[in-house]
Structure 1
Amino acid sequence: MKLPEKMLTALAAPLLAFSLMMCAKPNIKVDKPLSVVQEGTTKADTTAPGAGEAVIDPSTDLDLPDTTAGLRAINAITTTITVQPSQWMIDGSTLPAGAIIYIPAGTRGALLLKNIKGTASQPVIIVNKGGQVRFSASKTASYVFKTQNCKNFKVLGTGVSSTYYGFVMDGGNISVTMDDLSSDFEISNIEVKNSGFAGIMAKTDPSCDKATWRGNFTMANVKIHHNYIHDTGGEGIYIGNSFYQDGVSTSCGKVMPHDVKNLKVYKNTIISSGCEGIQIGSATSGCEVYYNTVLSPGRSPFASGQNNGIQIGEGTGGKCFNNLVKDAPGNGIIVLGLGDNTVYNNYIINAGEHGIFADSRYTPGPYFRFLNNTIVQPKGDGVKLNSTTIPMNVVVNNVIIRPGSGQAIHRMNSDVKLTASNNYVNDDVNTCKFVNFAGGNYHLQAGSPLSKAGANAYTYGVAYDYYGVKRTIAGAFDIGATTFK
């Protein structure tokens, strides 16, 4: 299936055409700074970095040039193999670093890759050849594509320039699984569909094998990007174990899941997942989730609380920004992370519960930060904070339109420490003056009340907007995910 690079905009086009005009005078306000609220006391926000945080330019690393072309040309003579349609397994024990595994166009069954070991500078590349490859298996099959004990490899559907998704993974309980101590890999330009459970899963669950335990194994340097995932029975993308604090009970006792470090999940489109569109757990450092589109997730959850858009789960820190989440039956974005979490520039539309929900579990870090998000018509609260053990919750520069509960920012109780300012709350999305909200064009028109009405969030790392437009370094910010230029 060929879909254009700009499919994100096209898919997001039919977004929430509604008019929320009220008969009474609309409730238009920009929140005054609340400082810190804790049982009537006021303290300074000590979470803002003095010298400024590292900022991320979202316009970089988003297009997809084939960076492996040179390596493939060099190694094409001596280190290539072609997987035949009849082969169900490749053991790469004897393959050298930099080898290329070609998979020829056509329809084939499931494939297992094991013991493939490249290096950081010479990864093993798995790529389609001659056209699109369709892997097909029943939903009851364990997998369609699986790796075991593989490191420093790339699965790329970029073998033919005219085919954007060179690999199609159709079926399997877990369609694509990076398993059994696999690490240091990249997955891009594949289509995943009709999964019995998860679309793409990347983790090694702890067992009685000590090699799987935290401290003995770390899954690191993972990039999952430019993929199209739809119609899955469970999560669209599922990375890392969900039980970072308490571990997993096994026949040999409780064992702790491995860390995930330096994880990048970006520019994926997930439509109609059974549970969360994206779920991340145990990603303890270097985690970034950005520029993803999640539409209609959680359509058939197997348990309560599994119907959110994006879940930043236990043991996960880092940044979640520039994502579009629409029509999640649960929360748009749920944050259960380490307490070094910054969530910004996201569009969260028509959530069935809260726009953003935060809860403190294993949270040794200093803050949850929710900055410059645009939240439209959640059925619950705009931002719901159950994060009682976090030293500081920062809610600044957010647009919150018509929360169903009537509460834009809702603290569970007075133990929730909060700094809130410059949030725009209204009952009517039209007052924001987006160019064409219903059509998915979220640029601001001249005269928008969001323009120049925010606090400067540059020092928090919010240097660009949803579209990659650079924000001002000094002076007033625009409120919400987009800036007027």
Structure 2
Amino acid sequence: MMQYKLITVLITSSLLSGGVIANEDCGCDFTLPSSHYAFDGAAQGIMPGQTLCLAAGQRGPMKLSNIHGTASEPVVVKNCGGVVETIPYHYAISIQQSSHVNLSGTGDADNHYGLRLGGTLGIEKRSTDIEVNNIEIYQADFAGIMAKTDPTCESDTQAGNFTLANLNIHHNWIHNTQRGEGMYLGYTGHYRTLVCDGVEQKVYPHDLQGLRVQHNLVHNTASEGIQANALSRDTLISDNQVSLYGQDPFAVYQNNGIQIGGNQVVLENNVINTGSGNGVIAIGQDIRIKNNTIINAGSYGIFADNRPAEGTQMGQAGLPHQYINNTIIDSTEEGIRSYVRLTYGANLVWGNTMINDGQPNQYGAAKFIHYLNNDVLRDEQNNHHIIRN
């Protein structure tokens, strides 16, 4: 409690410790000095619509917990008086048991990225409705941003009892991850097998709903640039630039530009440039991949599958995909390879352009568009294969 008492004293004074920042300059209701590593919103009594400021300067990792705003009045957490930089560590900021929080690096007009985090930004322990913007994240030991709550024996962590909703990640710069992804969003895998009260059981992870990932720069990641899984509805991933992905993946096939798993996803207007795996891998149904530019993919430009269960009949495997107006340049394998089959309606493959040197792939086929078999229903229009001289 001594730390929190000190915070309260500093808030009521005219200046932060060291006399460098006036609270009124940033509109702070609470301020976390650079010497402090934790803020508990419940203990401090922070209310919807209030602002928690992080004092400028170098600091260690931070845990922000029990902070709750509302949809119309989020709690804002931002830098004040300059750049906040965390010393490189396993994690930089951990947001826990919080909702309707905007973590923002916009507290200093002279710095576009006012928060500079030398480690992972974690959004965990049933946190939801979080906005993250104008933050630089570098040299994370694993992923740059990790947003998920692993299912445990506690029922409130499991599917049906918790949903990570309205996660909004925009205008950030993430680079040089050491082992993992630029962004790791949602739980990977259908379930975990745990022993709960002496009984082995399967526990299922939460969904992501209303995910927004827009206008981010993701560069030089060990594994995927952006990975988002357990997507159940209303996902938009757009206007991002992902480059040098999959440079040192921690496991095989963890080396794609953008990986999405789930349903009702729009992936559009992204530039995905140079990596060891697929430019895009999309697993699920009702996925729309539009107006993306994919350059120098180490495998397929776009690889897609819906993985229908054995015994699925035609028309029973959910909604089809759309691949529309994508430009795919110099992928090592085909520009588009689709295994999305047995769908209710045809996959739309319209207006895509593949540009390459005309050399065949490893199977002797043109690096253009390939389908698993005739179970992949498709409507193809105005696709072009341009061979460079």
Same fold (TM over 0.5): yes
2:283 maps to what in 1? 336
**Identity across aligned pairs (percent)?**
39
Letter in 2 for 1:136: I
Task: Decide whether the 8 Å contact of 1:280 with 1:316 is kept in 2.
Answer: no
- Choose which of 219, 223, 227 in structure 1 pairs with 2:172: 227
Q: C-alpha distance in 2, partners of 1:417/1:198?
A: 37
Letter in 1 for 2:87: S
1:316 CA drift (Å): 3.7
1:21 maps to what in 2? none
Instruction: Within 5 Å, give how 1:262-281 maps onto structure 2.
Output: 262-281=210-229
Q: What secondary structure does 1:207 align onto? A: coil
Q: What secondary structure does 2:245 align onto? A: coil
Q: C-alpha distance in 1, partners of 2:350/2:135?
A: 37
Give per-residue Cα distances to partners, 1:146-165, cap 9 Å, x unaligned.
01100011000000111000
- Choose which of 195, 198, 201 in structure 2 pairs with 1:251: 195
Q: C-alpha distance in 1, partners of 2:370/2:244?
A: 25
Q: C-alpha distance in 2, partners of 1:316/1:205?
A: 20
- Choose which of 99, 118, 121 in structure 2 pairs with 1:170: 118
Does structure 1 residue 84 correspond to structure 2 residue 38? no
Q: How many residues align?
A: 346
2:20 maps to what in 1? none
Does structure 1 residue 118 correspond to structure 2 residue 69? yes
1:414 CA drift (Å): 2.5
Give per-residue Cα distances to partners, 1:130-179, cap 9 Å, x unaligned.
000001133xx3x21001100011000000111000000113xxx10000
> Structure 1: where are the runs of 5+ without partners?
1-71, 431-485
Q: What secondary structure does 1:280 align onto? A: strand
Q: C-alpha distance in 1, partners of 2:145/2:181?
A: 8
Does structure 1 residue 287 correspond to structure 2 residue 235? yes
Letter in 1 for 2:234: G
Give per-residue Cα distances to partners, 1:36-65, cap 9 Å, x unaligned.
xxxxxxxxxxxxxxxxxxxxxxxxxxxxxx
Instruction: Within 5 Å, give how 1:197-236 maps onto structure 2.
Output: 197-232=142-177, 233-236=179-182
Q: What secondary structure does 1:367 align onto? A: coil
> Structure 2: where are the runs of 5+ without partners?
1-22, 310-316
Does structure 1 residue 179 correspond to structure 2 residue 129? no
Q: C-alpha distance in 1, partners of 2:99/2:226?
A: 23
Higher strand content, 1 or 2: 2
Q: C-alpha distance in 1, partners of 2:277/2:46?
A: 46
Q: C-alpha distance in 1, partners of 2:88/2:140?
A: 9
1:128 CA drift (Å): 0.4
Does structure 1 residue 159 correspond to structure 2 residue 119? no
Does structure 1 residue 129 correspond to structure 2 residue 80? yes
Q: C-alpha distance in 1, partners of 2:307/2:70?
A: 37
1:362 CA drift (Å): 6.1
Give the TM-score normalised by structure 2. Answer: 0.85
Change (3 A) 1:160 1:185: same
1:360 maps to what in 2? 306
Letter in 1 for 2:38: M
Q: C-alpha distance in 2, partners of 1:84/1:134?
A: 13
Task: Decide whether the 8 Å contact of 2:182 with 2:218 is kept in 1.
Answer: yes
- Choose which of 271, 292, 310 in structure 2 pairs with 1:324: 271
Change (3 A) 1:343 1:122: same
Does structure 1 residue 415 correspond to structure 2 residue 364? no
Letter in 2 for 1:267: H
Larger RCO (CA under 8 A, 6+ residues apart):
1
- Choose which of 127, 132, 139 in structure 2 pairs with 1:194: 139
1:382 maps to what in 2? 335
Letter in 2 for 1:211: D
